[in-house]
Structure 1
Amino acid sequence: MDPRRGVLPDTDVLVRGATIESVGKQLRAPAHATVIDAAGALLLPGFVDTHRHMSETALRGVGADWTLGNYFQWMVQKWGPLMRPEDIYAADYMGMVDAVNDGVTTVTDWSYAMLTPEHADAAVDALTAVPGRARFAYGNGLAPDFGWVVDGRVDRMLKNRFTGRRDQLVTMQLAMDVNSPTDDARKALEFARDRDLPVTTHAGVFGFTGDAQIEFLAGTGSLSPSYTLVHAAALTDDAYRIIADSGAQISIAAESELNGGQGYPPTAKARRFGIPVSLSLDTVAWWSGDMFSMMRATLNADRGLAHLRAHEAGKAVENNALRAHDVLEYATMGGARALGLDRLIGSITPGKRADLVMLRTDTPAMTPTSNPVGQVVFQAGRGDVDTVMVDGRVLKHRGTLVGADLRRARRLIEESLEYLRSKIPDREWEQAMNPPPGATARY
């Protein structure tokens, strides 16, 4: 994903400490080096996820048939307030293990349910307990206003848990859903700017937020390259122009948008207006947790809409606009750029940190390998992730986690689910798992 180098066949990578030292043909390994035989394999930069609600990991899969309304009904209004700090720890710990196992070397924990300082501490404790790279996006979506931003909680976290160095494995930003132009929202946004804290916001969500939200953020001077707008789907061209002019980023979660109804994944709008794009998984309570699914969902949505519009006009699409290389860039360099880490990670470039993923090519789905980028996007899956390295440290090798405690993660998350189920009546659980079917749409 280094544009100066492109795709390189039969090439070696030398990692010294945490850093990629060199990339080239037949590199000589130092006498003391550990050699990982990657002959025939595909090596790519680690995936970067810019939006995942990791606190919901214990409720994996419960929302398979949900819409966005179902999600708010059950997850936000009823079950989110049940979570204790130990549930947050278990969810984030398992979420980090899950991410590393799937080749997501950097994950943004969009911490929606930091009800107390103890909840926030538990999240950071879990993120730092697994040696992957993470962004703690401090949020409290269940609070009535943004008083939690300015009342000392965020400053305490900055002082006690974060050094301000961007090369530490776990860094911080704010996760604030600025849905209306209130005075406390202005104060919270000013607070973030004063501390040079990046911000992420759910934006352009059908029925909740539209152009007025973007206009307010722009009017306060908040939109910038360090501001990430999640979904950003239900917007007009005027709003996309504002986003493009500000340099702000978009995080697209195509599985979520297509199934939940936030709006149609705006990849075509992003291309038209030149808005930087990253990809995200949203929540495993609803969707799959791997970047391979996200890349495919993004391509499917973009191309499917292009074909539909062409057919409605009695025409056919001659060549696809969004390419496999584009979505792989979204999933790597795009995510690094959104988090302000593109000088550190996102491509296999000498001098950058060694966040690397090696895929097997001897599986049936990957044999033979003719088009590396296309096969990563359309053929590869979790089961092909052989080796994962973060900051020069091997966390998975030969398909087995070696730098993360899966047994502990499973025990903690199962205990958390047992507790949550004890607080959720059986009837409520069944209603949530099986919402009534909607009317059949006519296409």
Structure 2
Amino acid sequence: MSAQPAPPLATLTAAPAIVFRRGLVLTMDDAHTVHQVGDVLVIGNDVAAVGPDLDVPEGTAEIDASGGIVMPGMIDTHRHMWQTAMRGYGADWTLTQYFVWNYLEHGRKFRPEDYYAGNLLSAVEAIDSGVTTSVDWSHGLATIDHADAAVDALEEVPGRFVFAYGNIHAAPWEWSNSPEFREFVGRRMTRSEMLGFQLAFDVTGDPAFPERAAFEAARELDVAVTTHAGVWGATNDNGITLMHDHGFMTPRTIYVHAATLSDDSYQRIAATGGHASVSAESEASCGQGYPSSWALRRHAIPISLSVDTSVWWSADPFSAMRATLSTDRTREHAVAHANGETVTHIGLRAENVVEYATRGGARALGLDHLVGSIEPGKRADLVLIKNDQSPAMLPILHPYGHVVFQAQRGDVHSVLVNGKVVKYEGRLTGNALPKARKAVEETVDHLQRTLGEAEWTAGMHPDIPESKVLDNPYTYTEFRNAAAGTDEAHSAE
């Protein structure tokens, strides 16, 4: 059967329904049903039917998915979106250099309009690469104006977002209980299906546990907490113990990285039903600890994926999946070799990693009833991976392996969010990208002028004197965490 000409975007927008025809469909339902040649019918916001040769309502617009893969929209549970305006700037940073640049020196030079610029570009980029739900881990909100600007950007892009409010420059137990913050929550955080809400802060391990007041604020507001846990030199087992002993580890809590924790801490996370957000490119590059999927799997902790920040890395889900699979397998082989053994059957499979990128994220965010799989009644957050001009897109033999190891962000043909076409035939719809480009140019110009040429260039070629390296990036407290090189290092282990 010859392919039909692709309908124009206006036809899709005006049609009463849309159907993807003759694609290889990865449903990611509980049974991981795969339709080698299947259709997905979308009516309104929802998936109406999945299967071969579907009957469709009159006037349904058809997208030819033959030669491609239809899968659920991917979900990113930890993305510092405001930093996207600085894409690639910190390619050679260590985590310490990141802390120094953003938290101790230049982070406060970002104006509200710079947060808007970064968020707008990041939101557009997420959709372009097939991420339909993103957690904006917005942890530099020095003022409410910054928070308003960040949310303004998210609301301009037709994606699904969770705004994780944080302020690394101030104590979480203070800002989470301030009148200004509470006013902002009441005014902006209506928690619609398209914009969720979390609190984002870290637990330093101070035995006084001042973060308790921030956890109590989250409980009062009925929102989840997302926290960087198990980050070498910043957050360790002491923080997990404090959270657990005070009753603040819940199934809604997301532990980002979770890379340098003891078995006891992993067991506490597992026992309380928590979820982890793995960012393997980040963990492998800047030293939070070895990418943690191997440890999380050992303790049966549910996993979701993250791109962390494009100030360093690629910020697309294909790279996140590939890095997770590769680092997990690297460790499995290395451990076996150290014991004089050979791995003959690999533990982590491509299918598992696609699960992390879809259902794993949905479960972590409490959205599994809405998104994460292609099933009738769920929202139509869908991605078509198809590129007839790419030799890497044929043949498709192992669909999960193809998604993880063969496909790229440039192979994302179409994206639907909530039933709305937001990318089609490889091009984003709407005008957000040109607007983001202009805003980011203004931000870069502002930062270059503010820092000066020498400081701007030095940031990309870091050589930080030892006197500027602190074992604690949290400037709002005098407490110094047990860090590598101190006599308290990892005392909980």
- TM bucket, shorter chain: over 0.9
5 Å matches for 1:113-124?
113-124=140-151
Partner of 1:194: 220
User: Does residue 314 of structure 1 match 2:340?
Assistant: yes
Q: Say which is worse superposed, 59-68 or 401-410, in terms of deviation.
A: 401-410
Residue 204 of structure 2: aligned partner: 179
- Cα distance in 2 for residues equivalent to 1:229 and 1:416: 31
SS at match of 1:230: strand
Query: Percent identity of the aligned residues?
Result: 49
User: 2:277 maps to what in 1?
Assistant: 251
CA deviation after TM superposition for structure 1 residue 55, in Å = 0.9
- C-alpha deviation, 1:104, in angstroms: 0.7
Question: What secondary structure sits across from 1:370 in the alignment?
Answer: coil
Give 1:440's aligned residue.
Answer: none
Counterpart CA distance in 2 for 1:179 and 1:187 is 14
Paired letter, 2:29 = D
Q: Give, in whole Å, the separation in 1 of the partners of 2:316 and 2:40.
A: 25
* SS at structure 2 position matched to 1:415: helix
User: Is 1:378 the counterpart of 2:405 in the alignment?
Assistant: yes
Aligned partner of 2:320 in structure 1 is 294
Structure 2 CA distance, aligned partners of 1:335 and 1:298? 14
SS at match of 2:396: coil
Q: 1:215 and 1:153 mapped to 2: Cα distance?
A: 31
Q: CA RMSD in A?
A: 1.5
Question: Alignment length, in residue pairs?
Answer: 436
Counterpart amino acid of 2:203?
Answer: V
Query: What is the deviation of 1:436?
Result: 4.8
Q: CA shift at 1:203, angstroms?
A: 0.6
Change (3 A) 1:200 1:386: same
Task: Give the alignment of 1:293-442 within 5 angstroms.
Answer: 293-362=319-388, 363-436=390-463
Q: 1:74-89, aligned counterparts within 5 Å?
A: 74-89=101-116
1:422 alignment partner, SS class: helix
- Verify the 8 A CA contact 1:14 1:23 in the aligned structure 2: yes
CA distance in 2, matches of 1:244, 1:358: 34
1:183 is displaced (CA, Å) by 5.4
Alignment match of 1:211 (pick from 237, 247, 250)? 237
**Inter-partner Cα distance in structure 2 for 1:137 and 1:151:** 17
Offset of residue 185 of structure 1: 1.2
- For 1:153 and 1:327, locate their aligned partners in 2 and report how far apart those are by CA, in whole Å: 41
The 3-state SS of whatever aligns with 1:36 is strand
1:126 corresponds to: 153
Q: Is the 8 A contact 2:387 2:411 kept in 1?
A: yes
If you compute each CA radius of gyration, which structure gives the higher value, 1 or 2? 2
Deviations 1:272-304 (A, max 9, x none): 111011010110001111010011111111100
Equivalent in the alignment of 1:4: 31
1:68 aligns with 2:95: yes
Please name the residue that 1:238 is paired with. Answer: 264
The offset of 1:116, in angstroms, is 0.7
Q: Give deviations 1:229-260, integer Å, cap 9, x for gaps.
A: 10111111011011100111110100000000
**Is the CA contact 2:35–2:52 (under 8 Å) kept in the aligned structure 1?**
no
> Is the partner of 2:304 in helix, strand or coil?
strand
The answer as to whether partners of 1:131 and 1:404 remain within 8 angstroms in 2 is: no
Does the alignment pair 1:262 with 2:324?
no
SS in structure 2 of the partner of residue 2 of structure 1: coil
1:49-95: CA deviation from partner (whole Å, max 9, x where unpaired): 00011111111101111110111121222221101111111110111
Aligned partners of 1:104, 1:32: CA distance in 2, in Å?
29
**Alpha-carbon contact 2:387-2:412 (below 8 Å) kept:** no
Unaligned 5+ segments in structure 1 are: 438-443
1:405 offset after TM fit, Å? 2.1
Q: Structure 1 residue 361: deviation in Å?
A: 4.9
Q: Which consecutive segments of 4 or more residues in structure 1 shift more than 6 A?
A: none
